[in-house]
Every structure is written in structure tokens, then in C-alpha cells.
Structure 1
Amino acid sequence: MNLPPPDLSRLIDARRTTSEQVDSAVFRRAAARGELDRLRRSIYREPLPSLSELKGKEFHAETRRRYLEQAISVGLTHSGRVIFAGETALAIHGFPLLGGVPSRVELLEPPASGRRRVSDTTVHFDEFREQDVQPWGEFFVTTPARTLADAAKWLPRAKAVSALDFALNADRAEPRQRAVQAEVLDALAASAAVRNRVAAQAAVDFANGASGSVGESVSRVLMDAFGFPVPQLQVRHAARPGGRRWYFTDFEWPEFGLIGEFDGLVKLRQAEFRNGRDAVQVVIDEKLREDFLRSGIRDFVRWDWSYLREPLRLRTLLVAHGLPASRGPRHLGRPW
């Protein structure tokens, strides 16, 4: 399935619009007066409202759009074939961007290309197969499999695993975003770069399509770092009579009688999780669900993003609920 084409609707390319009546100096003067924003030489955009006015999904969609416009402006002003890669490719494909959009645009070039580095871009010089890239309008972008392989090499483990888990989950990823581990490993093998290859392969092997959210993926990465027992994911339980048919748990350790849930409060904040219910009814239903699940298990533990930003808090929490950690406390900063 093809990628949606680049959205150039808000961009002004002075080189493509200039004529005898309007020359590029007009755009430069407009930018100097604050009537246009200059993204790159000859590429402009009308001033946009502050992001502080946006929240939730609107905020994330707009920040991603502005970043892609930055990437497009790089592509429009580069000569030759432009191949977007790394986190820029993640953004183009619509993969999760843990920690928000990056600040730089990333490109892929063959080792002997001789392309000079530019201050606001990161150019990765590496081998790739033609099957590792696909068209994106007049540009190119690494395929999902190659993008994920590069993420496993270049990004912190939590960022890479959150994207890998997403691509492996057919309920979360669209068909054009999906990849299987064998495809990612093949793309990794095609790369000539050896730096971080062992860690990259380990990240691909660790990925699990049963993970239901970015927060669950980061939780798994931290559990592994501390040496906690490997949890079962999205375990299915018959629901209480009169309700839905099944309950699913984020994490479960049957041998320790423990269920773990990440950020259950999201069900109160986001309409798509409410199924038409108000917040009060969601609280009641969630209490009934937890009571029903507790009837067959010893303990229930919940955490949210604040625990992932301070990993030692998550370790302390899980140990307090009876999970053994094979690796002792150590300083771990925010994992992305």
C-alpha cells in the first residue's frame, strides 16, 4: 500500500512561484516583516498559531505536521535523490514518536555519495538495497522494515521497541505500516554499518506485537532492564456475566498471582475508550472489572507515565507487589 503523498499545501516555494512580477526578494522582505516564516532558503510558510492552544491528539498531529513540513523543505532544497530515514522516516510512516518529534531531519546516503553534511540535517552513510526505499511524492523514504531496522541501530532501546511493537500489532498498525521481525532482520543485515548491530538485533528479537500501547512497550523495556520476570501480555479472561465477553490485562505474572495495568486512567480521558459512557460509568465499570479479576488472582498493580520517566519508581513499585528483580537498583534516567 502506497504512502499518502507529502502535504505541501501550507508551503511556499519561492523558486517555483517567482516570475517577472514577483521575485524572491518579495518573500524575503515578507519574512523580515513577520508575514511569512522562513523554513529554509526559498521555502516559506504563513505564520501558524502557537502550539500552546492545542491539546492531546490535535497537539501531536500538528507537531508532526510541522516537522514533516520541515523535512519537505529540506527535500525541496537538496539536489539529487533525497531519501528520508531514521526518526524522519518514522514520522512519515506514522509510527509512534516516543518523546515527540525530533529536532533534525535525517537522510540516508550510500557511503560513496559524497553528499556534504548540512547544519540542520543528519546524514547517515550506509549501504541499502533498492527494495529498502520507496517513493514519497518526489522524494524517497526507507520502507517500514528498513526504518525499524535503523531505529533499532540508532535510537534508544525504548524508542525502537515502541515503534517495533506498533508495527507488529495488526490491530494498531495500518497494513502499509506493518512489518514482521524477519523482514526487519533482513533489512538490518543489508546495512553495512556494524555499530550497535548486536543491540539492534536484540531489540528486534525483544519486540512483541501483543503490546497494546507505547507506554506498555516502555514498561517492558524497563522490566527487562531491571531483570523482572517476563510478563504475559494481553491475557484474555472471561468477563463477568452481563458485561462484555472478555477482559484483557496489560501484564500478568500468574506464578506470582499479579496483574499489572499501565495508565488505566486513559479510559477516563479519551472518548474512544469510553464507548459512549461518561466518566462516572467508566469508573464503575473499571471497578467491577478489577473486582472480578481479583477473584482469581492475589494482587493488582497500576502505574502511569510518571513511573516511566523515573524508572526506579517502577522498580520499587513492582518489588513492593512481590515481583523479584534479578538486577539491583541502579541509576536509570528517562529512557528516551
Structure 2
Amino acid sequence: MATRHLRTPDEQGRPPAGPGATEPAEARRARALDHAYAVNAQLSAPRVFSHATAALIWRLRLWTPPAVTHLRQQSKPGGQRAGDVVRHVGLPESYGVIDGLPVTSLEQTVLDCALTMPPLDALVIADAALAHGLRLEATRDLLARVRKPNGKARAALVLDLAGGGSQSAWETWLRYLAARLGLPRPVLQFPVRTHLGVYRVDLAWPEHPVLAEFDGQVKYTDGAFGQDYSGRRALVEEKRREDAIAEALGVRPIRFMAADARDPDAVARRLLARFPPDVRAAARVDRRLPL
């Protein structure tokens, strides 16, 4: 079995401290990572962390931090099983080591997640992995070698939808809803040249034209990105940016926030309403992508 010592995308090992570090999701990520270290210290048999736990160790974005620790072992262990550890049979042909933890490759990690997780959860991980060097064709090759049919169609769909331009889990969520509606594939981080410079829009359908963005509230909070950070200044700058985009293209981005996730049908209606009648008429909900 080949072993490589790897560095995570953040290059420092542990996730960097920053805004939102005390939020519940970050606390759950920290607990899940600590649990992986504890499990690793208790085991003597060969093992490799996998699935959502591997994504966590790789420091990839997660829609939901894992509630259990996933690992691969050569065979099923005997005796009583721990409820907070899921053991998958079979060690990978090769693996890496990140901060002392044996972990599946980036490609195998994404594939394992795509085969077993809901599509949105897996897509968030795949998007993040693409931004950090995931080899998509190599992942598809691994999928082609999977013998069991369970999850293969879903995994292929996730790999087809994956895009490296999403810069947050919420941007992936917005693109996921657009895909579920049956809308054309958007351009990610679409560049717009304005009199103030070049701005990038999260999702764009320039041929229609439609622009959509996820707007996180944290950037309008004083101190969110350092002691001297001004939320009011950020709000003013965002208004200037939006005005410049509207002046350049003749259309304003439609904005969505985390609170909109409570009513995804309303998000779908608002987004669909921006498109011309022929696109709306052709759109069909993809039932393979559940809300």
C-alpha cells in the first residue's frame, strides 16, 4: 500500500481561526476532528479515514459536519461496535497522511462521499475539492471501477455538477437549486468590467441575462474580519459594486441569504422569474436532486 505525506489546502495543518470560529458548525467540526484523533490513537490495526471524516481532515467545506467517524479497515472488526464509528471494509490501494492521520486520497474521498451522501452534501465537498486540485477525470475513473450499483448514478450526477468556482457552501446550495430547477448551467465567478474595476458575480447566465449571488450577513458585521473591520463600510462598498454592475450590464444581481433556505420553493420562484419565458417553459425539476 502506497503512502504519501500530504499537506492540507490551508498549509498550516489546523483550520485557521477566523470569523465564525465560535459558531456551532465550527464547534462541531472541531469535535469531529478531535474524535478522529482519539479513534486513531486507540486503534492498532491498519486503518484509513474516509468519507466525510476524510473530507474534514482535508479541510474541505462541509454542508453538515459528520456526526460519526468514518474509516476503512481490512476486515470487519470483531466484538462490540462503537456507535460513533462507522467502519468500511477494504483498505484503499494508496492513501496519504495529514497531520498524523491516514486519509483517503482527495479523489477517493470525493467518490466515497458522492456514493453515500445526499447530493447537496456531496456537491459541497466536490466543489471544495476541485478548488484544491481534485482530478475530476481520475475520480470518474474510480467510479467506473465500482462494482456495486448502489449510489453510482447519484455519484455520476454529483461529479457532472461539480464546479471549482463556488467559494462557499451557500454558493453551492444556490447552484444546486438552479440545477434542480432544470436551468442552464451557470458561469461561476462571472467577471464584470465596470468603471470601478472588475467584479465577479457568483452565478451568471449572461446570455439571458441573469445574475445571482449569495449574500452572507457576516460581512456587514463590525469586527467580523478583524478589530478594525467596519460592517457599514462594507455595506456602502457593496452598494457601489452593485450599482457599477447594473450600470455595466443593465441588470442587477438577485440576492439570496441563508434565511432563504427555510423556503427553497420561494427561492426557486424568485430565480425562475428572472429568466425569459422560453427558458421558464423549458425548465423541468430534476427529481434526482431532492430539496
Give the superposition deviation at 1:226. 1.5
| Pairing of 1:78-157 with structure 2 (within 5 A) | 78-99=43-64, 101-110=65-74, 113-116=75-78, 117-126=81-90, 129-131=92-94, 133-136=95-98, 139-157=101-119
Paired residue for 1:294, among 234, 239, 246? 246
Unaligned residue ranges in structure 2 (runs of 5+): none
- Asked if residue 67 in structure 1 is aligned to residue 32 in structure 2, the reply is yes
Unaligned residue ranges in structure 1 (runs of 5+): 8-53
Give the superposition deviation at 1:220. 1.1
Q: Which has the larger radius of gyration?
A: 1
Give the superposition deviation at 1:277. 5.8
Q: Secondary structure at the match of 1:56?
A: coil
Give the superposition deviation at 1:161. 1.0
Change over 3 Å in CA distance of 1:118–1:280 after alignment to 2: closer
Give the superposition deviation at 1:64. 2.1
Match of 1:211 in 2: 166
Aligned length: 272
Task: Give the % identical residues.
Answer: 27
CA distance in 2, matches of 1:224, 1:6: 34
Query: What amino acid sits opposite 2:93 in the alignment?
Result: E
CA distance in 2, matches of 1:84, 1:271: 37
Question: Quick check: 1:263–1:303 contact (8 Å CA) kept in 2?
Answer: yes
Change over 3 Å in CA distance of 1:253–1:75 after alignment to 2: same
Paired residue for 1:186, among 137, 141, 146? 141
Question: Quick check: 1:152–1:160 contact (8 Å CA) kept in 2?
Answer: yes
Question: Quick check: 2:222–2:230 contact (8 Å CA) kept in 1?
Answer: no
* RMSD, aligned α-carbons: 3.1
Deviations 1:281-303 (A, max 9, x none): 22222212212211223343111
Change over 3 Å in CA distance of 1:136–1:236 after alignment to 2: closer
CA distance in 2, matches of 1:139, 1:288: 46
| Pairing of 1:306-317 with structure 2 (within 5 A) | 306-317=259-270
CA distance in 1, matches of 2:221, 2:126: 26
Question: Quick check: 1:257–1:299 contact (8 Å CA) kept in 2?
Answer: no
Change over 3 Å in CA distance of 1:164–1:269 after alignment to 2: farther
Question: Quick check: 1:264–1:302 contact (8 Å CA) kept in 2?
Answer: no
Give the superposition deviation at 1:188. 2.9
- Asked if residue 257 in structure 1 is aligned to residue 221 in structure 2, the reply is no
Question: Quick check: 2:188–2:204 contact (8 Å CA) kept in 1?
Answer: yes
CA distance in 1, matches of 2:190, 2:283: 24
- Asked if residue 2 in structure 1 is aligned to residue 13 in structure 2, the reply is no
CA distance in 2, matches of 1:269, 1:80: 48
Higher relative contact order (CA 8 A, sep 6+): 2
Which is further off, 115-124 or 254-263? 115-124
TM-score of the two chains, using structure 1 as the length reference: 0.71
CA distance in 1, matches of 2:135, 2:50: 19
CA distance in 2, matches of 1:167, 1:179: 5
CA distance in 1, matches of 2:212, 2:179: 15
